[in-house]
Structure 1
Amino acid sequence: MDRLLINMYDKKSIEHLTNHLRLLLKKNQKISVLCIGTDKIIPDSLGPMIGTILSEDLTRDDIKIIGTLESPLHALNMKKRIRIELDNDELVIAIDANKGNRVGEIQVLDQPISPGKGLFKNLPQVGHISIVGTTLERGELKNIYDHKIRLGDIYRMAKTISSSLSLAINDLKINE
């Protein structure tokens, strides 16, 4: 398993994340990015925020972004949207928020993720590559609305992840 763990506060986080993603992405692949979460709960808004930023920043028309602030991909609609919107031959990058050791950690894995697992949701595993950002510390959550993270921190993490992903994806086209 290929894995990267960085902190969004690291000055070289975008560089490290971009370089790692470049190793996992291949030329001439159809790519879909699943940006999982809801804008109704701040710690879970990371995915849709990244989806919105990517939709505005990516210069490639052949990349499918599923899950934005305007049209979130969440527990209630995930199974149906994945069935309708994904093609079988696509490389799927799944992005979600999670509970972890330290808020601000970003982890990239070359395996699927289980969205909603931290909240005991039973959703299908998704993705060939997963990117998860820690927005809650383990044990922090008693009530979904009782959290320490600020929206500005979510935005900073979203910008770090989306900038890295945009650079890595756009480089594929330049190097073709």
Structure 2
Amino acid sequence: MAIGEYGPEGKRRKQDAHGLVSFFREISDRYLPEEVAFLCIGTDRSTGDALGPLTGSRLREYGFPHVVGTLPSPCDADNLTKRIAEIPPELVVIAVDACLGPHAAVGYYFASGEPLHPARSIGRSLPAVGRYSLAAVVDASGPRPYRTLQTTPLYRVMGMAEAIAAAAASGFGLVR
């Protein structure tokens, strides 16, 4: 789960699904799909946190060559460091993760040209990841983040994962 705070004004941009295409188009202006690796963080054992593996699986289906974190092979807090080490250093990493946020932000995305800090909001100390990052607000934050992630509607998470993958494919010109 990504951070719940989004840093100083201007570092993270809140956007809806339509705004994601321009985020990925900006990246594709600098890099080809072969030069990027998507690091999709999460687990299929928690509905809310399944956003990463769902997104990764869809990115693979769209034809992105470098994707870490899919449903058959998730990238979660337990194996994150090992999975990061598998990414060739010449690739530009785009980190994708679910997060909790304010009620008004549920269903939105926070895109950034900075690294993502996985699990910070639940007190874990994991390495910051990504040259670019995308945090999807899958549910509202509350006193029990694990419980919230367990009870997040799967329909919402699947829709957000598809929106990210479709926007990436469109932004990089893999679909028209």
Match for residue 10 of structure 1? none
> Which residue of 2 is the match for residue 45 of structure 1?
50
- Report sequence identity in percent: 29
Specify the code of the residue in structure 2 equivalent to 1:151: L
Q: 1:35-86 deviations in whole A, cap 9, x for unaligned?
A: 000010111010110001111122x5xx300000110000111111211x11
Measure the CA separation in 2 of the matches of 1:158 and 1:93: 14
* Count of residue pairs brought into register by the alignment: 162
Question: Are the counterparts in 1 of residues 51 and 98 from structure 2 also a CA contact under 8 Å?
Answer: yes
Query: Which region of structure 1 is more displaced relative to structure 2, 32-41 or 19-28?
Result: 19-28
SS of the aligned residue for 1:154 comes to helix
* CA RMSD, 1 decimal: 2.1
Contact residue 41 and residue 145 of structure 1 kept, 8 A: no
Give TM-score, length-normalised by structure 2.
Answer: 0.83
Paired residues of 1:18 and 1:165 also in contact (CA < 8 A): yes
Task: Report runs of 4+ in structure 1 exceeding 2 Å deviation.
Answer: 1-4, 145-149
Deviations 1:82-109 (A, max 9, x none): 11x1111111000001111132111110
Structure 2 alignment gaps of length 5 or more:
1-9
Deviation at 1:136, TM superposition (A): 2.5
Q: 3-state DSSP class of the match of 1:52?
A: helix
- 2:158 paired with 1:155: yes
Report deviation, 1:117.
Answer: 1.0
Q: TM (normalized to structure 1)? A: 0.83
Other-structure match for 2:91: 90
Is 1:100 matched with 2:109?
no
